[in-house]
Amino acid sequence: MSFQEKYIFTPENATFFSSQFDILITGWKDLSSERCMHFQNNIPNFKGLKYSFDICENVEKLSFRIENSDGILIDEKQNLSLIPELYNLLLKSNFKGSNICIDITSLKQGILFLLIQIFINNVKPAQLFVAYTEPLEYKKRRDIHIGETEEYDLYDRIIGSSNGVPGFNKSRSSKKILLLAPIGFDSQRLQTIYESLKPDKLIPIVGFPSFVPGWNLTAIKMNYLILKSDDCFDFIRACEAASPFYLFDLLTEEFHRYNSQYDIYISPLGTRPHCLGAALFVAKNPSTYLIYDFPVEKKYRSERILKTNIYHLSKYIS
Amino acid sequence: MEKEFKNPFSKIRAEQMGDSAWKYFVVPSKAHIGSKPLIFEGSRGTGKTMFLKCNSWKEKYNEAIASKHDFKNFILNNQHIGFYYLTDGRFVKSLQKKNVNDEIWIGIFNTYFNVVLAKEIIEFIELLINDKIILFSDIQYALDKVSLRIKKPKPLSLNEIIQSLDETLIAIEHFSNNTNEAQPIGLNSGTIIEDILLQLKKNPLFTETTFHIFIDEYEKLTASQQIELNTLLKQSNSNIVYDFGVLSKGILTPKTSTGQEIRRKDDFSLFSTDRYDYYEKNEYNEFLKEICKKRLQVELDRSEIEFDERNYDITFYLKYYGKQHEIALFSKSPKLSKIKDRIYEEIKRHCSLYGYTEDEQIVIRKELLNCSPIHMRMHLALLLRKNKDKIPALDLVEHKISNSAKYQDWCHNTETAVFYLLCDELNIEKTYHGFNAFSALSSGVIRSFLELAEFAFDFAMNSNNPFSIDNLREFTIDEQTKAVNFVSNFKIKEIDSYEPYGYRLKEFTIALGKIFNALQTNPNATLGEVEQNHFTTNTAELRFNFPNADLLLKDSVRNMILEEDNPTKTKSEDSVEFLDYHLNHIYCPAFKISYLRKRKINLNYKDLAKLINGTHKELTDTVKKLSGIKDLDEPNLFDEI
């Protein structure tokens, strides 16, 4: 097991951590969500700027808001073209050489991938942290409607993988395709990507140990049909659900094992820390492909808070 | 000698077959690669990729090598040499917007398309050079020109030109990810392809050759990109022909960049599997048998045992057992007495209504009850008819005794519906067996048929009497039925994965299934209208009032969830347009409904909009309203799957 710079954020170390960065990046989500606001509301020493980012459903348009630590609005822009405006914003602002923390709890994945790519390869801040607040429970469906098969009520809809991930577009080669997919609770997502990609080999990755015991089995249960149809049970890999570092290591291992035979496609459908690990890996390994289906998350999709982790990612900065 | 029998149908998709797709390929009788461009249009699973791939040089070359032909022979034997391109949907979609104007993107797309095809063509040229059929110098002029176009140094070898093309491709990738990067070269459509292929044509070996560019999954291109490729199709000539494989309704525009349009017959031939009755044609059934024969040959020939001709015939395995099996089960069912009780009640009602004598009552009871369960259940339905359709019990008896034409009509028209009713009422599983049933269930989608066959083999190979190379036997009713039910259920589940509206379409499909099931299993059905499994609606009104629902309806046709039947147009002033929509037969077993084409229901466009795009409450209420009978408190249909 390799070393990982992962810390549990507690009231005792909150003062220390909040003085470690001068720019906080968050999602532009519902401010009334306890889990989304948990980290931001508990960093008393933070005196820097807060950037909130949002993107539209088809991942083309960017909106952002800049506030100071007292919540006073400094700048706000809406409906900019995500590319190239995010590059322009981050490269022209004071990000280079600064200490940055991204709270990914509420940040949409479409922008998370691109942010990581730009920070790691282009902006290169002095230090890069990521915070993530884990839920205690995800919301289950109360009523089963006609045609619904999902046990959990996590998404309004899924935009689909026919759009490339901004910043990670890459033309297909003639090699065979290996799909590495951290899986989650929604049975439709892996199936859709599988159907669209038609991989020659599938390696599912289950979050284990999971945030809450048993969630790893739920993930297998929800994806059972596609795992069965691909006959890939023997290839299932386990990786701590809360660890982007271990996912990075696992992807590195599989990459070296299969790179000569296959084009490696990574589709992070599981936890947000796994999305982070996948983004780090693809940003560092441009010969791999990132494929994502851009689900539109429910406003209230989780209940209560388990804990917040802080990941120190500076070692990945190129 | 290989003794282990592997399922001959385990590879369903062309993509799964790697370099051996040609081994399984059968040419559809009406699809033709020739000097005129071909557009092969069909829903998913109809063989488009297989057709284009297997007509491409790589598959034909693999086939030639396997037959011990050399490369030169291969060229001499193939007047049409094709290069295959599978549209990279995600990537081509990224070549737009991002604060860059459309014209620039179109130029970049053209460069991309030229480059990926050029790489494919150069792979072919490399073989020609390796086999000393041509020299590098024969092609050098064209490659110099290509280098000039992409602003790279003149190549001294094929590797150098490949490197230049790769660099161009990487520059396009970089620009698509960050438009602050250097803008790649923009070209006109097809220029590089033309440079290389026309140079090749100068070699005497290729004088008679027509080169083809096969573009698969054309529907994934944006409208502007389609316009560029339409232009190439329009400009096709005996040197280079562009052919498309496209999903139903996937052509977004017929326009070309020169302001013209591509037109069927003038510019291209169309091979479409999207005719409602396609699968009812002998052409389709024979095609399926040929496909199966190839697959069985590949598997059986591995064993080096000599087999009987029938062992290569899928109809041998998918044996039809007749109706007797189900009739025997109906006769033995303890629940049959409940149907008899209902007939007694109806006879009583008729006796009181028509004042039949005691003797007449005895005859009625004897004739209407002492018969096969099929006739018995039909009699009940006929006795239930009222008002102008009423059939007095004694009249019915007379028809029966004399076996009148009318009685024969009743038997003929209601028989299948009665089977489904009895299965439902006696709680007996509907059976599916025989090649014809499998073919009809596949609704013209070859992939569905292959999946049905795959699971039939699977169930047979894993049964108590395992099917093997030493035990090539007919499949049992049970094995065939299990395969049908399994495939039918997973095909419903699969709808989820049809981007981008799969989750909506699945709800809609299940809602339709519930409605048709309720209508077909109505215990009070008089069987005047039987086996409802399609609907008609006013598409003009739907399009006008509910454009989003109309879009989803089109998407369900594109994905072959519904099949559009020939429109019945009313040329009135309101230009009202009605279309029939058939539920793909593959879903029928999961919904326990008949797959035969019999009756349609009229579906008001407002109700249809609610079913396809309404809230959960609207959907549930509409299903309840249209079903009329069944309470939706029953478990979600999917829970039963």
Q: What is the DSSP letter of A120?
A: I
Q: Which of B49, B101, B126, B503 to mutate to test the interface with A (most CBs of A within 10 A)?
A: B503
Q: What is the pLDDT at residue A192?
A: 86
Cβ-nearest to A149 among B16, B220, B638: B638
Cβ contact, residue pair B90, A198, below 8 Å: no
Has residue A220 got a pLDDT over 50? Answer: yes
Distance from CA of A23 to the nearest CA of B (A): 24
Q: Which residues pair with A140 in a beta bridge?
A: A152
pTM: 0.90
How close B94 gets to chain A, by Cα (Å)?
Answer: 7
Complex prediction ipTM: 0.94
Widest Cα–Cα separation across chain A: 55
B403 C-beta neighbours (distance < 10 Å), count? 10
CB contact under 8 A, A149 and B496: yes
Picking from B94, B99, B105, the residue whose alpha carbon sits closest to that of residue A87 is B99
> What gap in Å lies between CA B636 and CA B220, rounded to an integer?
34
Give pLDDT tens digits for B585-628. Answer: 999 999 999 998 778 899 999 999 999 999 989 999 999 999 98
Q: What is the pLDDT of residue B241?
A: 98
With CA atoms as reference, the chain A residue closest to B494 would be: A191
Q: Do B98 and A160 touch (CB under 8 A)?
A: no
Within 10 angstroms of residue A27's Cβ, the number of other Cβ atoms is 22
Residues from chain B that touch A170, judged by Cβ atoms under 8 A, are: 91, 173
pLDDT tens readout for residues A79-133 = 999 999 999 999 988 898 999 999 999 899 889 999 999 999 999 999 999 999 9
Q: Do residue A187 and residue B94 have CB atoms under 8 angstroms apart? A: no
Closest CA to A8 of A266, A306, A240: A306
* Partners of residue A194 in chain B, C-beta under 8 Å: 497
Q: Where are the alpha helices (DSSP H) in A198-317?
A: 215-222, 224-230, 244-258, 272-284
Alpha carbon of A187: minimum distance to chain B alpha carbons (Å): 9
Max CA pair span of chain B: 106
Range with the lowest mean pLDDT among A14-18, A150-154, B171-175, B268-272?
A150-154
**Residues of chain A positioned with their CB less than 8 A from the CB of B176:** 164, 169
* Residue predicted with more confidence, A152 or B612: B612
Q: Extract the residue ranges of chain B whose pLDDT is less than 50.
A: 568-575, 630-641
A vs B, Cβ pairs < 8 A, gives 128
CB spacing of B507 vs A163 below 8 angstroms: no
- Closest chain B residue to A82 measured between Cα atoms? B98
Q: A251 with A177: CB under 8 angstroms?
A: no
Q: Check CB contact under 8 Å for B173 and A170.
A: yes
- The H or E element that residue B338 is part of is helix B336-354
Q: How far apart are CA B636 and CA B46, in angstroms?
A: 31
Q: What angle do CA B294, B297, B303 make, to 5 degrees?
A: 160
Mean pLDDT of chain A: 90
How is chain A split into domains, by residue range?
6-138+304-316, 155-297
**What distance in Å separates the CA atoms of residue B108 and residue B98, rounded to the nearest whole number?**
14
pLDDT for the residue numbered A297: 75
Tokens of B50: 């297989």
Round to whole Å and give the CA distance between B522 and B535. Answer: 18
B638 and A162 within 8 Å at the Cβ level: the answer is no
- Taking residues A143-151, report their average pLDDT: 60
Q: What is the CA radius of gyration of chain A?
A: 19
SS3 A55: strand
B494–A163: do the CB atoms touch at under 8 Å? no
Identify the CATH assignment for A155-297 out of 1.10.3470, 2.60.40, 3.30.750, 3.40.50.
3.40.50
> Tell me, what's the pLDDT at B179?
97
Give the pLDDT of residue A142: 61
Partner-chain residue, chosen from A87, A145, A157, that has the shortest CB–CB distance to B180: A87
Segment (H or E) for B76: helix B71-77
Interface of A with B (CB under 8 A): 60, 81-85, 87-88, 143-149, 157-164, 166-172, 187-188, 191-192, 194-196, 198, 200, 225, 229, 291
CB burial of B576-609 (b: ≥16 within 10 Å; e: otherwise) equals ebbbbbbbbbbbbbbbbbbbebbbbbebebbbbb
